[in-house]
Amino acid sequence: MEWLDEEIIKEKQEFYFKTPPFPIIYVILFIFLNLFFGFIVFKYTFLEFNKWSLYAEKNRTLKIKIPAPRGLIYDRNNNIIADNLPSFDLIVNLLSLNEEDLGYINKLIQENNLNYEIVDNTLYVKNLKKELAFQLMIRYGNSLDIRVTNSFVRRYKFKESFGNLIGYIGFPNKEEIENFGVEPQEFVGKLGIEKGYQNYLRGKDGYLEIEKGVKADIVRIIKKIEPTPGYNLKLTIDANFQEKAYKILDRYMKEKNYKKGGLIMMNPQTGEILSLISYPSFDSNIFVENIKEKIEETLNNQFNPLFNRIISGLYAPGSVIKPIIAVAALEEKIISPDKKIYSSGSIRIPNPYIPNMYSIFRDWKVHGWVDMKKAIANSVNVYFYTIGGGYEDQKGLGIYKIKKYFELFGLGKKTNIDFIGEKSGFLPDPETKKKNIIDPIWRLGDTYNISIGQGDLTVTPLQIAVFTSALATNKLITPFIVKEILNQNNNPIYIRKPQIIKEKLVNEENLKIIQEGMRMTVTEGTAKILNDFPIPIAGKSGTPQIFGKKKLNAFFAGYAPYPNPEIVLVVFIEEVPEGSVATLPLYKELMKLYFENHPKYKNLSENYYLNNAEF
């Protein structure tokens, strides 16, 4: 190796073994990164171990809701009105779907008219039929991203006869979500009893806690909590009578080409509503089954089947109000029941501002001389103009005393029936008329109009039933529809008792005169068609004018048996050409339906109709 130069060897050694210079910033960065990753490991290993373990557990487990059966609804005789049938729901995690699955499920929804709701990227489809549910289960197996669950579908047994009374269920709107404390994918009561008693009928859902696999399948069931069914309701309604009465009403309305009306029957001793029908109605099942054509037809019907005319409809009562005016006049001692007033067919009131000008208030015919009973029986307008507002030498009640007795018999305020949507009606007086910009002055003519149930006075058919009950019994009572609330074993947790607001409303002798006048309405007055009925009826007809006196509404409010009533029945038909006579054949048929099925009167009724086959 002598040929190698020692200087060359030294240079090569320096080239291979010399350490290059290393900036200090790299050293600092290296230390910082080690400290940072050390802190992260320490944080998740020690400080947040429980938190992230819980997250991991949540991703590993899933709670699946088990829907609670909705409470059942029975009539007074324990016939089922609304119950539940086994069904299936579909729950889909939309974020997990590919285009093929998305198209497949969308096609199923459209072809089968299924109810669905989307909440937070989750699709909820209600009320799948068994065949469709099995088809999905076979296709997707144990997948938790597309799963079929057991559920219930609501069934309404009596269809149109109970539509706007019982209501229906469906997905909630924002207000219902807040008021009822439900989730957007839950069905809630949307109308009628279903909505009014939602919190009782609802029940408490159970759940399954399961362990998920990595492919979103079920590994095992960890825990199961059974659902608690909702409370059951027992109504005061007689379902068999209601169904048959609806068929009678429907046939009659179609034969006469009438479009709107209704009936209400109540027990005047207890306040129990035995039947309540608003016409037209609808089949509640169409909303649950999502039958789109029928839903659209119902929603677009100009006569509004969803509207409950008995509870929410406001009408001028017409002459059915006259018995209250009559008893008020007796109570205030402004007239004796025997005093006769002459009806020439109208009265004339001089115009205080224009000489030789008169305001004419007409009767519906010339009645001649009539006392109070005949005035009630024949609905004599002139008599009630006179005792209501005064005429010539006969003093009148005046609007404030009229209003006092209207309020005594429950008008101008809600009856507090246990049903949503009730209206209060309206009692006009000089103070309320001051708000009328066009004509703010209260005149004698206004008092005359109120005295025969016209003008701005409005009431509901329910209120008519309640004050007719009060005229029959001399007590004001609160009407109600739900008789009992029952637990899952059908044991009552609540029993409704009659609520009497006030007894002895007026002097018994005075009231007896009014009752006799109402009986004479049937025996010799405006409702003589009812006189041959085997059970004695008392009542009052009414034909308030509407649409600028171009049309009439027809009312008949009565009770039976007279003088010890067991039922009050109010029937009304809107926009008829001939007045209260329009209701009377229907009224008679409904009375027949009730009493021929009443064990106490069945034989009497049967014997009568055997001898009067033409009815």
Q: Give backbone dihedrals phi and psi of 479, rounded to 5 degrees, phi first.
A: -75, 150
What is the per-residue pLDDT for 50? 54
Tell me if 123 sits within 8 A of 92, measured CB to CB.
Answer: yes
pLDDT attached to residue 356: 81
What dotted CATH number matches 318-611? 3.40.710.10
- φ/ψ bin of 201: left (φ > 0), alpha (ψ from -120 to 50), beta (otherwise): alpha
Contact (CB, 8 A) for 183 and 119: yes
Instruction: Please identify which residue in the block is written with the tokens 């939309």.
Output: 94
Answer for the pair 96, 123: CB distance below 8 angstroms, yes or no: no
Q: What are phi and psi of 324, to 5 degrees?
A: -70, -40
H or E, element range at 106: helix 99-111
Give yes or no for a contact between 180 and 404, defined as CB atoms under 8 angstroms apart: no
- On whether the CB atoms of residues 170 and 188 are closer than 8 A, the answer is yes
In the prediction, which pLDDT does 211 show? 76
Give residue 244's Cα distance to chain centre. Answer: 21
Predicted local distance difference test score (pLDDT) of residue 3:
40
**Euclidean distance between CA atoms 170 and 187, whole angstroms:** 5
Q: What pLDDT does 130 receive?
A: 86
Tell me the domain boundaries of the chain: 6-60, 63-235, 318-611
- Residue 164 near residue 156, CB atoms below 8 Å: no
Maximal CA-CA distance, the chain: 163
Cβ-based neighbour number of residue 205 at 10 Å? 15
Averaged pLDDT, groups of 10, the chain, 615 residues long: 48 48 63 63 52 48 84 98 94 89 90 89 90 88 84 94 96 93 93 97 88 61 88 98 98 96 98 98 95 94 97 97 98 98 94 82 95 98 98 96 98 98 98 92 95 97 98 98 96 97 98 98 97 96 79 94 97 87 94 91 61 48
Q: Report the pLDDT value the prediction gives residue 55, as an integer from 0 to 100.
A: 43
For tokens 């009815």, the residue is: 615
Distance CA 167, CA 82 (A): 10
Pairing of strands 73-74, 232-235: parallel
Global model pTM greater than 0.85: yes
C-alpha span between 427 and 425 (Å, rounded): 7
Predicted pLDDT at 556:
97
Under a CB-based contact definition with an 8 Å cutoff, are residues 484 and 494 in contact?
Answer: yes
| CB-CB contact of 72 with 84 (8 Å) | yes
Does residue 378 contact residue 371 with C-beta atoms inside 8 Å? no
Q: Would the CATH topology of 63-235 be identical to that of 318-611?
A: no
What confidence score (pLDDT) does residue 1 get? 42
What interhelical angle do 444-451 and 381-389 show, nearest 10? Answer: 130
Which residues face 444 on adjacent strands?
A: none
Give, in words, the CATH class of 63-235.
alpha beta
Integer Cα distance of 69 and 204 in angstroms: 9
